[in-house]
């Protein structure tokens, strides 16, 4: 009954037959990443949307920045918790063109704890950074899926 009600209102699954997001699948080439963060975002976007390759009709440019602040400290002043904020700016354009038809920014945060072991703290920091890039990439894909109904013809 619920599916019937949704079909009557014009709802269609984004990735379903005739769904707007199907035009994104394997149709986006992502500019070569310059940083590890951009590589991680690229990898996640390609996991979700496929790797379009050089002949894809659309090109996605992205830039990632990350800042880190201390959030907690012990009684002796040692930092015990860090907050990492990531910002991803993107632009989607037709292949071979410089003017973007879809641009935006997504932002999120994550955190990690410092321990008495430098190796463990560095591992926690690396893990937090990787989690943050997955979050940003997923937000980006969500934005692209929403915008996919208005993609220009290839």
Place 19 in a pLDDT band, splitting at 50, 70 and 90. Answer: low
Long-range contact set of residues 66-75: C-beta below 8 Å, sequence gap at least 24: 66/37, 66/129, 66/132, 71/111
Q: Determine the pLDDT at residue 21.
A: 67
Does the pLDDT value for residue 124 go beyond 90? yes
Of residues 14 and 143, which shows the higher confidence score?
143
Share of the chain above pLDDT 70, in %: 85
Q: How many CA atoms lie within 13 A of 33 on its CB side?
A: 16
Q: Determine the pLDDT at residue 13.
A: 59
Does the pLDDT value for residue 1 go beyond 60? no
Does the pLDDT value for residue 109 go beyond 90? yes
**Lowest mean pLDDT across 17-21, 46-50, 86-90:** 17-21
Q: Determine the pLDDT at residue 11.
A: 58
* Arithmetic mean of pLDDT over the chain: 87
Q: Determine the pLDDT at residue 73.
A: 76
Residue pLDDT, tens place only, 21-79: 677 889 999 999 999 999 999 999 999 999 988 899 999 999 999 999 988 777 787 88
Place 150 in a pLDDT band, splitting at 50, 70 and 90. Answer: confident
> Which domains does the chain carry?
20-150 (3.30.160.150)
Q: How many degrees, rounded to 5, is the angle at CA 145 between CA 7 and CA 105? A: 140
Read off the pLDDT of each residue in 103-132 and give the average, rounded to a whole number.
95
Choose among 153, 146, 138: nearest CA to 94: 153
Q: Model's pTM, two decimal places?
A: 0.84
């Amino acid at each position: 009954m619920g599916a019937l009600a949704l079909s009557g209102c014009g709802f269609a699954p984004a990735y379903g037959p005739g769904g707007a997001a199907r035009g994104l699948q394997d149709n986006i080439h992502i500019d070569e990443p310059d940083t590890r963060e951009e590589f991680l975002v690229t990898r996640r976007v390609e996991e979700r949307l496929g790797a379009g390759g050089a002949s894809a009709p659309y090109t996605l440019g992205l830039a990632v920045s990350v800042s880190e602040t201390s959030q907690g400290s012990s009684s002796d002043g040692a930092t015990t918790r860090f907050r990492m904020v990531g910002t991803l700016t993107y632009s989607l354009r037709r292949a071979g063109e410089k003017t973007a038809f879809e641009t935006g920014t997504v932002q999120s945060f994550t955190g990690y704890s410092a321990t008495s072991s430098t190796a463990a703290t560095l591992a926690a920091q690396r893990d937090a950074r990787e989690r943050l890039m997955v979050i940003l990439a997923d937000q980006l894909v969500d934005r692209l899926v929403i915008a996919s109904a208005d993609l220009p013809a290839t």
